[in-house]
């Protein structure tokens, strides 16, 4: 394994990479050269990940999403697709955060972060293991709530509208939906700005 392989697929700061080359006068220049050579990938200013060709490890977009901007957890369509609950491919890695709404674009992909209140944020977060590492991701229930909360102008005033949204717009696996944990929906509804829409999900599950 080469010297960069010690970082595997974990995003690291410039200083961590520079520490591998203590005998080089300009460590920052060394890091810049490594990026130019394609051995490391710049995620944002001061943060890099080792190219999979160097590390032998596939990149974890979930872990990158967590560390690129935090606190955050992967959610919305990204999480629903990760769980196999929707058929469409998702191009953007979407996350929730208690900080400002921002987005990043780098050679790895596009990462979007949506702001939410702290009491709402803490509901329905779990860990997912991938390539020997773990990252934070919404439960299926929370991912669905997050999508509803963060998507403007969703017409979900009535149960019929909610059915159409789930089955036709999202093309959600309805068998899996009917097995979801209603308690997480209740917790989200209690502190969400779209209480009525989430309550419609609860009514469908309790029918």
Give the model's pLDDT for residue 23. 74
Q: Could you give the number of structural domains in the chain?
A: 2
State pLDDT tens for residues 107-118.
999 999 999 999
From the CB of residue 100, how many other CB atoms can be counted at a distance below 10 Å? 9
Residues 27 and 65 in one domain: no
Burial group, residue 107, by CB count within 10 angstroms (0-12, 13-18, 19+): exposed
Residues 20 and 85 in one domain: no
Edge-first strand listing for the sheet containing 40-44 = 12-13, 47-50, 40-44
State pLDDT tens for residues 81-108.
999 999 999 999 999 999 999 999 999 9
Residues 116 and 196 in one domain: yes
Percent of the chain exceeding pLDDT 70 equals: 99
* DSSP classification of residue 174: H
Residues 98 and 31 in one domain: no
Point out the domain boundary residue: 17, 36, 54.
54
Could you tell me which residue, 21 or 24, shows the higher pLDDT?
21
Give the model's pLDDT for residue 132. 83
Buried b (16+ CB within 10 A) or exposed e, 44-81: eeebbbbbeebbebebbbbbbbbbbbeebbbbbbbbbb
Residues 175 and 117 in one domain: yes
pLDDT (average), residues 59-86:
97
Q: Which residues form the domain of 22? A: 3-54
What is 31-93 written as a DSSP string?
HHHHHHTTSEEEEETTEEEE-HHHHS----HHHHHHHHSSSEEE-HHHHHHHTT-S-S---EE
Residues 48 and 141 in one domain: no
Give the model's pLDDT for residue 39. 95
Q: Please say if the pLDDT value at position 29 is more than 90.
A: no
Contact present, 170 and 154 (Cβ < 8 Å): no
State pLDDT tens for residues 114-170.
999 999 999 999 999 987 899 999 999 999 999 999 999 888 989 999 999 999 999
pTM for this prediction: 0.93
């Amino acid at each position: 394994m080469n010297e960069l392989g010690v970082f595997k697929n974990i995003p690291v700061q410039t200083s961590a990479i520079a520490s591998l080359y203590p005998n080089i006068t300009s460590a920052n220049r060394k890091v810049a050269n490594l990026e130019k050579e394609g051995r490391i990938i710049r995620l944002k200013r001061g943060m890099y990940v080792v190219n999979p060709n160097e590390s032998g490890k596939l990149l974890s977009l979930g872990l990158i999403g967590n560390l690129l901007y935090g606190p955050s957890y992967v959610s919305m369509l990204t999480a629903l697709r990760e769980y196999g609950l929707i058929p469409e491919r998702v191009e953007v890695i979407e996350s929730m955060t208690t900080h400002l709404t921002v987005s990043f674009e780098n050679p790895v992909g596009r990462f979007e972060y949506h702001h939410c209140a702290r009491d709402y944020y803490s509901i329905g977060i779990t860990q997912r293991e991938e390539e020997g590492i773990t990252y934070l991701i919404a439960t299926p229930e929370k991912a669905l709530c997050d999508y509803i909360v963060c998507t403007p102008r969703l017409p979900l005033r009535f149960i019929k509208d909610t059915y159409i949204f789930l089955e036709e717009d999202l093309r959600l696996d309805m068998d899996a939906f009917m097995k979801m944990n209603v308690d997480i929906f209740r917790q989200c509804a209690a502190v969400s700005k779209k209480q009525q829409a989430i309550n419609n999900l609860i009514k469908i599950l309790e029918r």
